[in-house]
Amino acid sequence: MDARDKQLLRSLRLELCTEVLVDGVVIQYLYQEGILTDSHVQEIKSQTTSQRRTMMLLDILPTRGPKAFDVFLDSLQEFPWVKEKLVVKRKEITVQDPADITEIAPSILKTLPTDQQLNKLARRLGPEWEHVVLCLGLSHTDIYRCKVNHPHNLQSQMVAAFILWRQRFGKKATIQSLQASLMAEEVDPSVIQYMLE
């Protein structure tokens, strides 16, 4: 899924959770079209409320390839007003051209991120955070531990993972290596800009 569509889903996340009920056709259509797997469907259905099911779907969608957003739009037959809104907003969003992004000073790139910066970063990241910390050198076990230690707060899970990375890698845990892993996972460049503001 391209950066613009990921950004759009993130910006309308709460609205979609109140408007779209994924219990009906939506999940079945995404499954039929190969966007969701059996395990995705089970994971979504295991959520306790309709809002949580929609949130889980919104967490999974960005990881499901380039066709995921268009197929999601097609799945919204029961919600034409939501589909229309997404189409309109999609045209409005212009993803920043990487050339427009201000360069980060080399002196800043060599520094270690502060707790405050890691907190700001966690506020902006979505489900891709796990891939980012894996790219930084943490293991699946480390991620699992962060999730178990903070079962009800996604942001706390992320912050715990980034702090663990900083502790484990010491002077190598620089803003530069963080930026490299964010770029490797195609996270919108504005996220690191926001973190450094």
pLDDT per position in the chain (197 positions), as tens? 777 788 888 888 888 888 777 777 889 999 999 999 998 899 888 888 888 888 889 888 888 888 899 999 999 988 888 888 888 888 876 544 444 455 778 888 889 999 999 998 888 887 788 988 988 899 999 999 999 999 888 889 999 999 999 999 999 999 888 888 888 777 877 788 888 88
Q: What is the pLDDT of residue 142?
A: 93
Closest by CA position to 142, among listed 119, 162, 161: 161
- Class level of CATH domain 3-95: mainly alpha
One-letter amino acid of 29: Y
Asked whether 6 and 14 are in contact (CB, 8 A), the reply is no
For residue range 22-46, list pLDDT tens digits in order: 777 889 999 999 999 998 899 888 8
CB 13 within 8 A of CB 86: no
The CA–CA distances, whole Å, from 172 to 33, 109, 136, 169, 191 equal 43, 11, 10, 5, 21
155-181 pLDDT tens trace: 899 999 999 999 999 999 998 888 888
Q: How far is CA 189 from CA 86, 106, 111, 146, 165, in A?
A: 22, 17, 18, 25, 21
* CA 160 centroid distance within chain: 17
Considering the segment(s) 106-196 as one domain, its CATH architecture is: Orthogonal Bundle (1.10)
Residues of the chain with CATH 1.10.533.10: 3-95, 106-196
Backbone φ and ψ of 79, nearest 5°: -130, 65
